[in-house]
Every structure is written in C-alpha cells, then in structure tokens.
Amino acid sequence: MNKKKRQFKLGDSVRFKDGQVDEDSGTDISGWQGRITEIDDRCQLFLVAFDSVTLKSMSREYLEDCEEKGLHWSMYYIGFDDVEPAEPRDTLTAVKKTIKELAESLAWVDFGPEGREINAILGGAKGERAQLRAWKKYLQKSLKFPFRAKISEWQRPGAPLQAGHRVRVMGIEEIDEWYGLMVVVKKGSKFYLFPLCDLEAIPDRSPNHDPVQLYAVWFANK
C-alpha cells in the first residue's frame, strides 16, 4: 500500500508542496490547501476540495480561465507525493459560503467578453433588484439621451408600439418587477413607458447601441 495513502485519509487537511504548478494554466499552486474528499489508489491521486482561505486567494484570471475551460476551481486532483499535512483553517460552512459567492461572481463568464463586461457592471450585486439598480446606474452614465431606437421584440396585438417601430428614448424612468428598466419613449407626439430590454439603439454605430444590447443580453439570460 502506498505510504502516502497510509498517512492521509478522507477528510484530512493537506497543503500543496512548494513547486506545484497547474498544468492547464501555468498557475503556481504552491501552498494551496484543502481537505481530501477522494482517494484514487490506481492513479495515486487525492481529490482535494480547497478551503475558503485558498479559494479567496485565487486570482480572477485563474477563476475565469477555469470557468471558460469547464474546469473545477473548487477542487483539484494532485499526486500522493505532492502534498503535506496541514492544520484546518476554516469550517465546511465557510467553504460553502465562499464557493457560493465566487460562483455568483462568475455567473456570466461563459458569455466571453460580454460576460466579463456584465460581471463588471453588476459589481457583485446580489438579487435581481440590486442588479437592476446597478444596470440603471451604469446606463445613466453610459447612454446619451435622447437617442433613437427601434422595437426589437414582439408586442401583444393591439399595443400602440409594435416590433419594428422607431422611437426616441428620452430617459430611464423606473424599475419594474417584471419588465426590468422602464424608459420613456416618444413616438410622434405621444410618450410611452416601455421596457428597455425590448429596444435596440440605432444605428449600429451609435455609442448607445452596445450598452443597450449588453443589457438586453443580461435581461434575456438572467
């Protein structure tokens, strides 16, 4: 029986020895610490679930790289001979809380550059209402009112505004529980309250186009 397996058992805390490097990203993982959750005798590997201290120390670049590649950042397979004993530094409750917080902050990474922009705008805001407030703050700074837009989504039959109609967006009015950010739009001589998520700023080269489109992507996938 392997000596390292005799020394460590499930649940033991271990520290990665100095000189350890993650092959997928080139990240130095020396000193990372966690608890053994699985022992693979055949491959001589431990599966280590990282503690909250290690999780909080991980760089944003490493976390995003793992997300984009579909790799687990909360645990790691490592050889029997590449770890050493360590004292626990936290509780399992602290680990679960940290994983939840990090997962929420990485929710949009799968969307590539757009996802990273969305995460930056949300700034860690939790809950849809708080996230809508973050969007409102960002868009009020980013958009230049009034601006031209067209209705990009289907509307109920008989509604005064329909897909394809062109309007002038005057400003952000309020946050609606169901429709998100509501803006005041003008068509002809009439004004309407309308959901921003159903609008597309025009023309495409307009500086307002991308921020409005980014919000629409978030709203459709939240």
Which of these three, 106, 130, 160, is where a domain ends?
106
Mean pLDDT for all residues in the chain: 94
Q: Is the pLDDT of residue 69 over 90?
A: no
CA distances from 101 to 32, 46, 125 (A): 19, 25, 11
**Span 140-156, mean pLDDT?**
97
Q: CATH number for the domain including 196?
A: 2.30.30.530
Side-chain-side CA neighbours of 105 within 13 Å: the count stands at: 16
- What is residue 113's predicted lDDT score, i.e. its pLDDT? 87
**Span 65-81, mean pLDDT?**
93
Both 89 and 118 in one domain: the answer is no
Both 10 and 97 in one domain: the answer is yes
| Domains in the chain, number | 2
Which of these three, 90, 106, 122, is where a domain ends?
106
Query: For 120, left (φ over 0), alpha (ψ -120 to 50), or beta?
Result: alpha
**Span 37-66, mean pLDDT?**
95
**Span 189-200, mean pLDDT?**
98
* Residue 100 lies in domain: 3-106
- What is residue 126's predicted lDDT score, i.e. its pLDDT? 85
Give per-residue pLDDT as tens, 3-37: 444 589 999 999 999 999 999 899 999 999 999 99
